[in-house]
Every structure is written in C-alpha cells, then in structure tokens.
Structure 1
Amino acid sequence: MKATFKIHYDTQFGQQLLIVGSLPSLGKNKKEEALEMSHLGGGVWFAEIDLSKTKAKSFTYNYMLIDKSNGIEYKEDGAPRKVVLDKTLYKNYILQDAWNPYHETENAYDTAAFDVIFQTSAPKKKAAKKSAKDAKYTFEVNVPRINKDMVAKVVGSVEELGNWDINNALPMNYDKERNLWTVTTPLKKNHHKLKYKYVLVSTKDASHVELEGGFDHIFDIQENDPQTYVRFADHRFAYDKRAWRGMGVALPVFSLRSEQGLGVGEFLDIKGLVDWSKETGMRLVQILPVNDTMATYTWVDSYPYASVSVYALHPIYINLEAVGALKDKKKMTKLKTLKKKLNALDTVDYEAVMNAKMDYLKEIWSEKKASFLKDAKVKAFIKEQEEWLLPYAAFCYFRDKYKTPDFTKFEKFAKYDAKEVEKLFGAKSKVKDDVNFYVFVQYHLHAQLLEASEYAQDKGVVLKGDIPIGIYRFSADAWTAPHLYNMNGQAGAPPDDFAVNGQNWGFPTYDWDTMKKDGYAWWTSRMTHLSQYFQTFRIDHILGFFRIWEIPIDSVQGLLGQFRPALPLHLNEFESRGVRFDFDRFCKPYIREHFLGELFGADTDWVKGEFLKEKYTGAYDFKEEFDSQVKIQAYFNGLKAKDDADQARLDSIRDNLYSLHNEVLLIPALGYDDGMHYAPRVTMDKSRTFNELESYQKHTFWDLYVDYFFKRQEELWASQAMEKLPAIKEATNMLICGEDLGMVPDCVPGVMTELEILSLEIQRMPKDPTIAFGHPGNYPYESVASPSSHDMSTVRGWWEEDRGDTQRFYNEILGNWGEAPQHCEPWIAEQILVQHLYADSMWTIFPLQDLLAIDGELRRENPEDERINVPAIKHHYWRYRMHFSCEELVKQKNFNSKLKGLVTASGRNTEY
C-alpha cells in the first residue's frame, strides 16, 4: 500500500520541494523532518511513501519549498490537505496536486467579506454519489467567485465528464468546511491522457456558463487498477474575466439619521443605510469605531478613537425602544417629545443625547433588573464575554463613583484585583445592581449591533469596522493590564499637511515585547471579538505596527516625538563628520532675542520676564516652572480671558511658547540613558535652530536626518511588522485594510502585499512624493480607492481651499480645459466618482457626502457643514449628521437610479 504525490512547480537552481505532514514518513508535521521530493523534469515533482504499516485512518499534508542557497522557506496558503485511507478498497493512492500560493490576489476571496458577497452555498440538488466500490477519481477545486445561483461542474475528454459537452458535464458538491467543490466518479475505460476543465453553470439559466480560461488540466493515467484511488486537487478555478471589484459607502454610525432617531445614529439605523446600499448596487458599509468612549460625560467623549474598552460598545448607539418601554406612560410621552427635539437638530448634541439615553436606561434597568440575570440568553452572553465584561462594568461603576476615569483615584481599587472585582457581582454585594447595569447595557448593544450585522449579511452587504491604533490612557484595558502598555509615553503621528505640529493622541504606546510573550493574545482576543459583527476592518494607522511615534509625557504637540523602535544616531556620527557635539546648542530649546519680537510682538517683554531666563546676552532658557509644554498648558488653563480677543491673544502666546520648546535639533533616544544616542527632531529643516546653523553643520545634520528617517530603519521596521501583523491576520478570517497614510516607510507596501492587507489610496495623499495627486487608474488591485476620509475635508470642501491645487487637479487629473469653477459643481463631483469607479482597486469606498455631491439638490449647501474631523484640533467635536433620513434617501429614485447606473456600468455591481 503506497501513496504517490505529484505536483507541478517551476523551481530555480538550489530550490527543493518537500512534503510535511502528519505521518512519520512525512515528518510528523515537523518541517525539519519533511520528505524531499524528486524532480522528474518539466517542473513535475514526485514522491512516494509506503502506507502498508500505517494504522492511521487518514493523514494531512502540505508542500513547502526551501531555497538551499539562503535557507528561505516558502509555505503554501490554506489548511492542510486531507486523505482518508480505506485499506479494504484501495492499495494505491495517486495524489495529483497544485501549489496553493500564499501571496495571491484571490486569497482575499476566501475571507469572511466574500462569504457575504458571493453567499456560496451547496447546490439544492447534490451530485449523484457513486458506490464505494466504484469511487476512485476525485476532482477538487476552490471556486472563490461563485454566487448562490451557480454550481461548479467538471467537463472533459471522456464520456464520464461529458466529452466536452457542457450540457453533460459532471456536477460537483460544495464542501463548506474546506471551501472546495468536489466530486468523485469512476472512469469506466482506460484513458492514456485525461483532459478536463471546470465550468460554472447557472441553476436558473443553463445558457449562462463560464468555462475556465487557460490550458486544459491534463493527467497521464498509467493504469486503471480498481484498487487505485486518484485525486485531482486543483488549486483554483481559472477565471477568464476581470477580477471582482465592488463599491461601498462610508459614514460614522453617529452621523446616521432616521425618522425614529434620538438625535444620533444608532446600530439599528445601519439597516437603513444597508437598504440604500443594496438599492444603488453598493456592497459594503464602512463605519468608524463604535467602542465606548465615556470618560468625562462631555462632548470631548465624541472622539471615537479614545475607547475606555476595546470590547465594550458605546451606549450612544443603543435604540431605547428595542430595549423596552417604560411602564410610566408619561415618561414615554416625555421621551417622544425629547426625541423629536433632538432629532430635528442639524448636528449631534452629544451631551443631551447621552443624558437622555443614560437616564432612560437606568429607568428601564430598575424595572427589568429582577429578571434580567435569569434569562438564558443573558447567562450565555455573560459566560462568553465575562473576561472583559465584568472588569469593564466595574470600571464604569468606579468612574461614576469617583467622577473620573483615572483609575489611580479608585482608592483600594486603584490597582486591579480580579478577585475583589468579582465580589462586586456577588449576591451579597451592595453594588451588584450598579455594576450589572453596565452588563445590561452591553447585552442590548451587542444584540442590536449583531442584528444590524446579520441584516446586512442577508442583503449581501459587507459591514466594515475600524480598529483604533491605541487605547485611552484611563481605560478599563489599562486598568486591568497596565503591563501591556508604556504608560510613561504617548502615541501620536509626525507632522503632515493636515497637522504641521504633528498629532498627540495621548494614548499610551504598546509594550510589544510583553505582548509577544503570549503570542499577542490581547490582539487575537480583540480581533475575534470584532469578527462577531464585521467581515472586514480598517486598521487605523497601520504604520504603528511598523513603528509608533512616541511623544514625551510632558509634551502637548507632536514635534518632540520619535519613532519606537528605531536605530538612533550616535554622537560619533557627528564627530566623524567634523561637527563637534554641543548638547546645549543641539538638544536644548534655541531661544534668541532677535526673533522673540516676531513671535510675541507687544507681549515680548512680558513673555521674557514671566517665562524665560537669560543665560547670556541675547540667549534664553525656560524657567524651571515652564520647562515643558505641559507646564505651559497648565499655566494658561488657569488664566481667564477678558473677552474673545484676549483669549485669541493668550492662545497665540501659548502656542508660540510651545514652538520655542520645539526649537531643538536632537532628542535623547528612547531606551538609551548614556547621553550618546539621539533622534533628530522631525521637520528640523523648518526650525530656526536648524536654519541658523553654520553651512557645514546644516549639511551634516541633514544627511544624518535623511539617513535616520528614510534609510537605516527599513529592515528593522519591516521585521517588526512581520512579527505583529501575522498574528492579527491569522486571528480571524476577516478581510484587512490598512490606513497607510502619512510618513510611509519604503518597506510598508512590500509587507502589506506579502500579508495580503489592502492599502488605502487617497487621491490627495499619493504614496509617490514626487506627484501632487494620485490617479485611480494607477492604483493596485489590492487596495481601497477613496477621494477623501473622515480626517479630511470632503471633495467639495477641498475644492475651495487652495485655488492653485484645484486648478491643477481640474486640468491634469480630470483632463478638463480652461479655468476651474469656483465651486465643485455636481458634474465635477461625478467626474471624480466615475474616475474612482473605474480604478483597478478591489474596493472603491466613498464617504456619503462625496456621493451626494453629484446631485445639486440633495447635497448640503455649505460643504464645511459636511466635515467630520479636523486632525489639527486635538479636541474636535465629532458631531456631523446626515441632513435627511435614511428613509428619505431610499426614496430618492432618480438619484439612486443614476448612482446605480454609474456603479453598474463600471463593473462594480457584478454577482461574482
């Protein structure tokens, strides 16, 4: 009894193909003991193993390739192949395989997102099964793009496969567990060469067929022994058509408007956007993070990226009626009146909405708490989620009790103690109702988001989530596991066109070394939790997985940050280039008399007297009480302005004092306390301290600056990402998209391509620094094409920002002649939409505002009212709302018909 393996793979000199599997002869799944194959020529590899002594009823295996010249290994994608052994029927097994490439575009079709798109299901009429005695030839193939109304068949050169007549092709069955179409059949006669192809046939219209492209599959049959089993495990159906492309819409949940709303979008309102998406040929709805951000109970909590839990959902998105009606009819009438008032507002009144919802939830909790914990579904929910749910509920209770999310103020609970927290939920606990209130809220939020997600899936619309790069400093996550974070630093982003001083998000950075010890279990858990609701997600600031911009805890702005990890500059690098290292000149704020007047005008003398001390004529240092941006911030927070003009004056002085702190060339490198290692200050070429160096010093500093930021780190940063991102990718089957905008290292595209993570292509932020605008015609397939994002002005808003940029875009990118219109007219917005629709990108996703821009009557009058966020403003109020309801949007037949026509004409509304 033996098994023969055959596979075609064109190798290069020095490369060896191996088989690693569960049997001892295949190495017992140890790659070091894998079975080497023999090359028969023409790219055909062969191996044979003896099965006569095996007691196993089945075995699994995969192929791998090793380059003996450099030791690099190449693995296959997907689950191991499985062979079921039956000694009573077969003595020989011939396994004809095809290599499953790991880095292949169509791997994306095996993700959860495309389960929704194609909704592949087993055919209602299964292929006829042959008796075990006759069943000896098995055909298997992965068909990633096939809809629910199609079946796969095999057609070929022999009678059993229809003699190339598609009408007589052999039907296949769908094995959902292995995501394969398969059929087993006898071949009655000896056939020297078997030729075949796979074909897709519509169950509704037999004339609708798609035959595989490319060459025929060919197999040489040496014998037709009844005791020989032959399996043809082909890789994928070879499509003879363009890759699938889809269209989606992006809108935060809080921006949704429904006729039954309470002044903000809710999870159940997602259904309305799904209905509209289906109506217009779009297959995806993208939202912003929906985690709980309640820290201060003020509008500052409207920022969706500062979650107090990476698991808990935000109560603002709950639909109160779905939780239940109050017994008090007067209170229900009062709620109805309040709903009408809040829903009439143009924007979200965060505090009013939150107060209304929390008050109602506490009322309904008092009525339902007696029976809530007895419900079987509730018990199952708590059991499944208790690892994060109970600590979160306790955190919320303490946050409310001490009126701060700062857990260091939680008295004896300042340091998390799981056993003590568990006692809060016990039957004898005096606060059990208070903590269980938050369990109650989360249960209903979970149920409502799950309902919206399942509704979308049933409609064939993918729901796309968003993963913030950081956690809020005073969150349940930081409270329960502070060892996972660097609490003495804060994450942000270096400067870009939208935030010239960089961004300081205030989040602690991750302690990746600690997270690595358990295989990034925190991330795996987070992804698994997310996959309950979403089939694809956007990784916010994916660059943070390569390196993070870490800012000192005493900084307000982002310019004094540095990348972690990074290979620092050594002071010898300056000395060897003829620059004597001067710590005071290079590392301390460069403050000189001759430019203070330019910064502070009439307030110069006051500034010098209040904040500075002269160290020698014309040169200053900060006084100790103002030697950080945080100290300056605290000082100005304590001042009261006389009026708006005075407030503007104080803000200007404060910001210019911040800028003086930024006047440094070098920053002591993180992780080094020897005074020998430094990081260059980002955008130092725009600083006074740089521009007032001697010419030879400038050249040295700039050469080292370029080397530090754009050369020496590439290998380190790539290796960092290749350690972390695979754990996130492998945790679930969700399709991953990365927000890779900003200061992008050269290594990023290669890593994302290797891991099959889609890039984000924004026309106004091209990856190529030598061009002003990206052209959708040049985008890669493994990408998401968008004209703007929530962190930018809309297309209409941008059009009016810089006349020069607009004119250039109008002529060079849109290809129009003459002078650009002052405003982004509907026909211009349509040109931009169409250009993106015809991109090669897998997905084109438009913010709703940019879609409405093509209709002069539907869009808002003022484009500034459509903006969601301004990154340069640290505490921006996130409150944008649609100006009409989803119900009204669905009724806009002319607009919807036009939009669907554009989407369909571009090929982005195909069934498969």
Structure 2
Amino acid sequence: MIHTRGSGILLHVTSLPSTYGIGDFGPSAYRFVEVLAKARQHYWQILPLNPTCPASGNSPYSSPSTFTVNTLLISPEMLVRDGFLGRNDLEPMPDFPEGRAAYEAVAWYRERIFSIAYERFLHTGPDRRYEGFCDRAGWWLDEHALFVALKDHFRGQEWSQWPEEVRTRQPEALDDMRKRLADGVRKEKFLQYLADRQWSALRRYCTARGIQVIGDIPIYVAYDSVDVWANPGIFQLDEDLRPTVAAGVPPDVFSRTGQLWGNPVYDWSALREQGYAWWMSRIARSGELYDLFRIDHFRAFADYYTVPATDTTAEHGTWVEGPGADFFEALARRTPCFSIVAEDLGANTPAVQGLLDRFGFPGMKVLLFAFGEGLPGSAHIPHNYVPNLICYTGTHDNNTARGWFEEEASEEDRKRFYAYIGREVAAEEVHRELVRLAMTSVARACIVPMQDVLGLGAAARMNYPSVPEGNWEWRMTPEEFERAPFEWLRGLAELSGRG
C-alpha cells in the first residue's frame, strides 16, 4: 500500500540524454534526480533494467536474464571517473544520433570500451569490492555469467540448440564449460559488477533526495533465457525441453486474433511444491534494485491464458486458474508485500480485485482510457478513484497525451474531454489538462510520462504493442531537458498536496 501522497515521472534510463548513444547511469541521470527533487516529485518510475537483445526488438520485457542489469546502461563517463578507463579510451566514438537510442552502435561501442576496462582490471590486482559483489550475488550471477559465455561460445544459438549435455545441464559438461570459458565468465561478472556499482550509487543518490525508484517485473520470461535453461522444471516444457503452451491474451476489440506473446508458461504446481522458491528469489532481487516495483500483467496470478505452442494465433487458448492468494501468503511469510504495485489494466476480474483488496496492493488507472462512451462509470475517470492506486496520464504502451488527442481520440472523445475539464483547449494544451486531472485526483500516487510533461506528440511514443521493430528508442534531447517545465510541475505538486 502507498501511504504517502506524492507524484513522479515515468522515464526509462535509456531515454535520458547522453553523449554515448543511449541513456545510462551517468551524469544526466544524476541531473534528472536533482530536478525531480527540486520539482517536489517523490517517484522515478523506470522500465525493467534487465538486459535486452536485438532478436526481441530490444524490449526490456523480453530479456535473456531476469536477475541482471543491462550492461548497455553502464556509463562510460563514470568508468573514467572511477579509474576503470582513461579519457582517451573513449575515442574513437561513433556519431550517435540524438533523440533515439542507437542499440546496435551502442552495443559495438560498449563492447570495445568494456574490453579495455576488463583487460586493465585483470592487471590491477585483487579488488575487494568486486570479490564481495561476486560472493553476495553468486546465487544469480554464476548461472547468468555462464549462460552469457555459452551464448558467445555457441555464436548466439538459442540454448535449445546447444549440445545435449549442455542443453540438459549435465554436471560434468557444465564443469568442463566453466573451465573452458572461465575468462568469458569472469568478464561478464566484471561487467555486472560495474553495472551494480553504478546503479547502487545512483539509487543512494535518489534516496538521499527523497526519490523512490519504481521498477518493473515482467510476469513472464523469454524462452531463450538463463531463467528457463537453468530452471526447466518450473515451466511447462516437454521431454525435449520445448514449451507445450505459450502465453498470450485472447481476441478482443483491439485484436481479432488475440496476442500471442510466445513466452513459456509457469508450472505453478511445481513451483508450489518448491515453496515458490524461484519467484521468492525474483522478488528479493527486485527489492535490491528498486524501492517499489510494478508486476506487469498481474492478472496472471489470478488466472492466465495459455495457447498450444504449435498455434500461430491466440484464438484457441484456455484460461487456467493461477496460484492466487497462496502465492502471496507464501511471499508475506518471507518478506513484506508493500513494495508491490499491481498492473491490473484490462479486464479487472473479481479474482484480481480480491487479491488487491486482500493484500492491499495499489492498482493502476490511466486517464487516456477514461473518455470513451462509458465515461461516468469508467474506472479510469478521476471521480471514481480510491486513494490506494497510482494514476497515470498514460504508460509506455500508450500514445502520448498529445498523440492520443491528435491521432486516436474520436470527435466524441474530445467532446467528453472538453466537458469534463470545463472548456475547449488546443492540442498543445491537452497534456497539461491531463496532468492537472491526475495530480488533483485522490490517488495517493500520480505518475506522468516524461513525454507528457514535455507535451510531445506521437513521434515520442515509447512502444507500439504487437509492432516488432522501432520500439524502445525514444530519448529526451538535451534541449528538451533544458526546456522541461519543472517549475510548473512543482507548482502542481504543491497545489495538490503532493509536494
């Protein structure tokens, strides 16, 4: 449950301005935290910090490793500051574009400078902080580092295509590969150490300025991940370790054939027998990375949709009962549940609402969903809010507020919007009205995407669901950062009791 009335901004780390092709844990992140504090904001919400890969369109919701941090977010400038690199090591540098995350060029550049930093590290003698990190994080780090080294060794092949003795994790084969790939394993551990070092320092900076970080946990994991390879028994796989069913959602007004996500589905019976150990570890790791964390597609704990793995659409799936309260009762015995935010968008069934009410999880409401035909009774319109929720103008999966008004809202939607705010406004003012509605609502927490603070149009959208390419690339330019109306945001926070 969120106890303090406050507000914040949704901006993924990759969307920060940076000289090095992608937002990172460097100076711009620290400056962003400073302006959040000056604007009397209390939350910085980000997307999952997990590694991304080109095969999944660089989506942070389809990661090869659930417990780790994306090494592309390591700041070159901080590596220089901390003595891992010299200033000259940063050259030559590609001509990175402004306004978009250049994943391919960033990966090439980071690999070059990381190799330099690693070679230097190998010749500097023992590093107590590195050794301490490896000891503390070994429970997730060892498997991850081996997986990364194996991926490189087998030239990027999906783990299901690896030699049988490695694919099926035969102990002697794994011991042999650890020895053969020892340098690659150590290098990945070093990079995770750098990522942890930089993120932990940034988190401490946030805490000192009264900023809580809201993270994100995707409900499912990618098949081609260390999570499935190292834990096949907790997923619904056949004897060849291939998924028997895949995750998705059924057909609706937005998609005639539904959405076939393709992720493997958990074997909740097996997880229950193990005391949900893997999920307990996942929650514990999230508690290390974030102050609060949103669980994406929270509904799957109540019931989840499965599609036969051989199907090419989600039309012929089945709803299956999830672990429900039993999971959260087990979690509550291990750790407090107050850090969890439930992404309960879509069909909020009685079973989902029952979990929210029983355990006090705040849900989500999105203003862009509020102005349809059913406005008076809409769960997303502010007059129907309850305090224990987070109100958003929009999310990373939505258009921007201005983009919605210009490209998606019908004439009737616009009329209802005008009637609700009491006047007609131009497209360039819509974002301010929506932010005001969110800030003055009774919702204890209010989060505004940075694009809506800036009043940007559809070109600044972060993600188009079901569109495989061109997503996750938007980045705030230095000029946009400079002109962002943080004083206006501060005034709204103070006026609405959020400051």
TM superposition score normalised by structure 1: 0.51
**Distance (whole Å) between structure 1 residues aligned to residue 368 and residue 279 of structure 2:** 32
C-alpha displacement at 1:474, in angstroms?
1.0
**Distance (whole Å) between structure 2 residues aligned to residue 802 and residue 327 of structure 1:** 50
Q: Contact (CA 8 Å) 1:278, 1:459: kept in 2 or not?
A: yes
Q: Which amino acid aligns with 1:897?
A: E
Q: Contact (CA 8 Å) 1:263, 1:348: kept in 2 or not?
A: yes
Identify the residue that residue 376 of structure 1 maps to in structure 2: 128
Q: Which protein has the bigger strand share? A: 1
Q: Which amino acid aligns with 1:794?
A: T
Asked if residue 520 in structure 1 is aligned to residue 280 in structure 2, the reply is no
The partner residue of 1:811 within 391, 406, 418 is 418
Q: Which amino acid aligns with 1:809?
A: R
C-alpha displacement at 1:747, in angstroms?
2.5
Identify the residue that residue 588 of structure 1 maps to in structure 2: none
**Distance (whole Å) between structure 1 residues aligned to residue 100 and residue 55 of structure 2:** 12
C-alpha displacement at 1:323, in angstroms?
3.1
Identify the residue that residue 454 of structure 2 maps to in structure 1: 852
Q: Which amino acid aligns with 1:825?
A: E
Number of equivalent positions: 485
Identify the residue that residue 276 of structure 1 maps to in structure 2: 35
**Distance (whole Å) between structure 2 residues aligned to residue 741 and residue 385 of structure 1:** 34
Identify the residue that residue 289 of structure 1 maps to in structure 2: 48
Identify the residue that residue 212 of structure 2 maps to in structure 1: 462
Identify the residue that residue 152 of structure 2 maps to in structure 1: 400
**Distance (whole Å) between structure 1 residues aligned to residue 256 and residue 46 of structure 2:** 27
**Distance (whole Å) between structure 2 residues aligned to residue 422 and residue 382 of structure 1:** 18
Asked if residue 354 in structure 1 is aligned to residue 107 in structure 2, the reply is yes
Q: Which amino acid aligns with 1:748?
A: V
Identify the residue that residue 327 of structure 2 maps to in structure 1: 724
C-alpha displacement at 1:789, in angstroms?
0.6
Whose RCO is larger (CA < 8 A, sep 6+)? Answer: 2
The partner residue of 2:5 within 238, 245, 264 is 245
1:276–1:499 distance in 2 versus 1, CA, 3 Å: farther
C-alpha displacement at 1:409, in angstroms?
2.0
Identify the residue that residue 843 of structure 1 maps to in structure 2: 445
The partner residue of 1:433 within 172, 183, 188 is 183
Q: Which protein has the bigger helix share? A: 2
C-alpha displacement at 1:829, in angstroms?
2.4
Structure with higher Rg: it is 1
Asked if residue 415 in structure 1 is aligned to residue 181 in structure 2, the reply is no
Identify the residue that residue 239 of structure 2 maps to in structure 1: none
The partner residue of 2:58 within 296, 302, 305 is 302
Q: Contact (CA 8 Å) 1:391, 1:421: kept in 2 or not?
A: no
C-alpha displacement at 1:418, in angstroms?
5.1
1:760–1:505 distance in 2 versus 1, CA, 3 Å: same
**Distance (whole Å) between structure 2 residues aligned to residue 464 and residue 802 of structure 1:** 29
Counterpart of 1:506 in 2: which secondary structure? strand
Residues 500-556 of structure 1: per-residue CA shift (max 9 Å, x gap): 432222110111111111211111111111111211010100001111111221223
**Distance (whole Å) between structure 1 residues aligned to residue 397 and residue 281 of structure 2:** 28
Over the aligned positions, Cα root-mean-square deviation in angstroms equals 2.5
Q: Contact (CA 8 Å) 1:397, 1:434: kept in 2 or not?
A: yes
**Distance (whole Å) between structure 2 residues aligned to residue 556 and residue 875 of structure 1:** 19
Q: Which amino acid aligns with 1:764?
A: L
C-alpha displacement at 1:870, in angstroms?
0.8
**Distance (whole Å) between structure 2 residues aligned to residue 321 and residue 364 of structure 1:** 12
Residues 44-99 of structure 1: per-residue CA shift (max 9 Å, x gap): xxxxxxxxxxxxxxxxxxxxxxxxxxxxxxxxxxxxxxxxxxxxxxxxxxxxxxxx
Pairing of 1:143-542 with structure 2 (within 5 A): 244-258=4-18, 261-268=19-26, 269-294=28-53, 298=54, 300-324=56-80, 331-335=89-93, 338=94, 341-342=95-96, 344-371=97-124, 374-411=126-163, 412-417=165-170, 420-422=173-175, 424-425=177-178, 429-486=179-236, 487-542=243-298
1:424–1:386 distance in 2 versus 1, CA, 3 Å: farther
C-alpha displacement at 1:847, in angstroms?
0.5
C-alpha displacement at 1:558, in angstroms?
2.3
Counterpart of 1:491 in 2: which secondary structure? strand
Unaligned runs of 5+ in 1: 1-106, 110-243, 566-716, 854-859
C-alpha displacement at 1:272, in angstroms?
2.3
Q: Contact (CA 8 Å) 1:781, 1:841: kept in 2 or not?
A: yes
**Distance (whole Å) between structure 1 residues aligned to residue 48 and residue 124 of structure 2:** 32
Identify the residue that residue 624 of structure 1 maps to in structure 2: none
**Distance (whole Å) between structure 2 residues aligned to residue 299 and residue 475 of structure 1:** 12
Residues 222-273 of structure 1: per-residue CA shift (max 9 Å, x gap): xxxxxxxxxxxxxxxxxxxxxx410110011111113xx3111112343222
Q: Quick one: percent identity of the two aligned structures?
A: 25
Asked if residue 765 in structure 1 is aligned to residue 369 in structure 2, the reply is yes
1:766–1:844 distance in 2 versus 1, CA, 3 Å: same
**Distance (whole Å) between structure 2 residues aligned to residue 345 and residue 275 of structure 1:** 22
**Distance (whole Å) between structure 1 residues aligned to residue 31 and residue 313 of structure 2:** 40
**Distance (whole Å) between structure 2 residues aligned to residue 809 and residue 459 of structure 1:** 40
1:877–1:739 distance in 2 versus 1, CA, 3 Å: same
C-alpha displacement at 1:300, in angstroms?
3.6
1:423–1:446 distance in 2 versus 1, CA, 3 Å: farther
Q: Which amino acid aligns with 1:393?
A: A
Q: Which amino acid aligns with 1:402?
A: F
Residues 478-498 of structure 1: per-residue CA shift (max 9 Å, x gap): 111101111221112234454
C-alpha displacement at 1:727, in angstroms?
3.4
Identify the residue that residue 356 of structure 2 maps to in structure 1: 752
Q: Which amino acid aligns with 1:247?
A: S
Pairing of 1:69-80 with structure 2 (within 5 A): none
C-alpha displacement at 1:289, in angstroms?
0.4
Q: Contact (CA 8 Å) 2:13, 2:29: kept in 1 or not?
A: yes
The partner residue of 2:476 within 882, 895, 899 is 882
The partner residue of 1:871 within 462, 465, 470 is 465
C-alpha displacement at 1:907, in angstroms?
0.7
1:805–1:451 distance in 2 versus 1, CA, 3 Å: farther
The partner residue of 1:898 within 488, 491, 496 is 488
**Distance (whole Å) between structure 1 residues aligned to residue 186 and residue 412 of structure 2:** 55
C-alpha displacement at 1:299, in angstroms?
6.6
Residues 89-141 of structure 1: per-residue CA shift (max 9 Å, x gap): xxxxxxxxxxxxxxxxxx654xxxxxxxxxxxxxxxxxxxxxxxxxxxxxxxx
**Distance (whole Å) between structure 2 residues aligned to residue 327 and residue 897 of structure 1:** 37
Residues 852-879 of structure 1: per-residue CA shift (max 9 Å, x gap): 22xxxxxx4xx12110111132455321
Residues 660-684 of structure 1: per-residue CA shift (max 9 Å, x gap): xxxxxxxxxxxxxxxxxxxxxxxxx
Counterpart of 1:267 in 2: which secondary structure? coil
Residues 411-454 of structure 1: per-residue CA shift (max 9 Å, x gap): 131112456435545xxx34211221111111111111111111
